[in-house]
Structure 1
């Protein structure tokens, strides 16, 4: 009996491994650095505004985040931020770029179980070098038939990738922790979308759950993905 799904796409950050926690820790350090020089009450909002403003220039990822911190530091201090603070911001950014990769629960065993039965594709956005580094450090690379590092995730992105690496969007599934980037556009392309919530998700990625969509599913962690696929196979 044929699978209704032949290709499974996986988001990387906060789906395969921890990521957002490092951004939160760095943002807390950023506030500590600026506290002697400015009122930090609305610093988080100012930083988020800078990040959103700069997405079109720097894209997603650590480097854009660091440049947005520098820009915000200059802005909130009226250009009086000490060079030593800028140096510290750059240093914490470098630390983020070399932090250890910590796979999330049930990731390895799930990929191992699916490998060879489905085409597995990692679909992630962000800085090319950083995402390649994390994949290599994770030890998960051999499970994937293909890796796609993209500037953004849209309906057209999923249509193109699932056509290139599979049998098209209708026979594909996207798995991820971001409703906005992983689930909603994949559903728009005609794929299945499996939402795996993470305790920490960047506010920019928030979106209402498409709970009425017939191809939307939600699981607590990747350990439940096999059951979802088995049920779809039985319906085929």
Structure 2
């Protein structure tokens, strides 16, 4: 599969580390050029170097919900690598923990803005600049919190439920030229999710039939499949990547 994405360019948001960077690594290994985003230029520069340098990757710093930033990223992807065939909406925030009724409404609005509305905007930018005329594939990174209650991070889960529904709606609207799918991971060992398992990893993993937490590569492989021609008859679907967690069958 070394050339599965040869000649294609992928835009991956929030890819200076964690799941986003693992997705970028997988796509580069399979022949793609990647444009990665994040808020910190230094972290992006390190990620680009890890991906093989300027011949394989471009980093563009900015805020994911900033429409000017989105325009710049899409434009630079096309100018630098010649296309914008693939899009992975990976950026997400979860700045609070606690009950829904204690949540500041402004914080709730910001979660929806970053986790949902910005993803929709990214799809629109890619569609207008490239995919509408040439086709493409989109994967939105959701969460198991979007398919079952997520106490303590309920607004994050609600935003991911919205993202899953947006995935289905976009698949209907943009087919047949553009496929839109999602992945819904459970707890993956990243800095973003560290508060959910640090200091009690074995206890948390005991609830998973596979008895371990995820690692970024577990999600990256599924995302690569959904972006590839191997999934050419798959759209509007959310693949759960959870070590069996949502089966609810752990002893």
Q: What range is the shorter-chain TM-score in?
A: 0.3 to 0.5
Instruction: Look at both structures and tell me which one has the larger radius of gyration over its CA atoms.
Output: 1
TM-score, reference length from structure 1? 0.44
TM-score, reference length from structure 2? 0.42
Structure showing greater relative contact order (alpha-carbon pairs closer than 8 Å, 6 or more residues apart): 1
